[in-house]
Amino acid sequence: MAIGVAVAFSGIPLLYTSFWLFCLLLFAVGVAVAVYGIRMARSFTAGATVQVGGEELTVRSGESSIRIPWSDVDRWGVAQREVVGATSRFTQLVVWPTASPAPDTIAAAKPLWNEHHRGWVLTTYEPAPELLADLESLSGRSRQDALKEPDW
């Protein structure tokens, strides 16, 4: 009888432990997804389209658009995939301003400003190869990909 009682009660702690382990794992995954979602939602340009023209770079998100003239751009680059996620569908561009961009450009592009990169960050669904080819051919500015840690 003692063996039967021991066998009957031995599964309860195991069930209790595995349930809490599952809840802890589910909580950790939920937090990770929430952090990623908040980061993408905070970005004005998450899912936006970027149009590269000879005179300016235009970012369209829904009904609003932001225009950054090439005269106010010093250089541009792509954020490293560690910043966005290795398998992300997003392309994250960083556009650095000149030493003195026009006040109108500063005001219009304020939602894009990223203090970490000290530049305007554009997060878009655009396919990276086509977008980068357009930027290289039409921008007339040098490409310098963003560092994981800024060098300033």
Instruction: Note the pTM of the prediction, 2 decimals.
Output: 0.59
Edge-first strand order for the sheet with 113-114 is 113-114, 119-124, 91-97, 73-78, 142-143
- Rounded to 5 degrees, what angle do the CA atoms 129, 51, 71 make? 105
Q: Is 69 in contact with 105 (CB distance < 8 Å)? A: yes
Per-residue pLDDT of the chain (152 residues), as tens digits, is 555 555 555 555 555 667 777 777 778 878 877 777 766 665 555 567 777 888 888 887 777 788 888 888 888 888 765 544 555 566 678 888 888 888 888 888 888 888 877 888 887 765 567 777 777 777 777 776 765 544 43
Amino acid letter for position 48? A
Which CATH fold topology does 45-143 show?
Answer: PH-domain like (2.30.29)
Q: How far is CA 26 from CA 13, 17, 85, 88, 94, in A?
A: 20, 14, 21, 22, 34
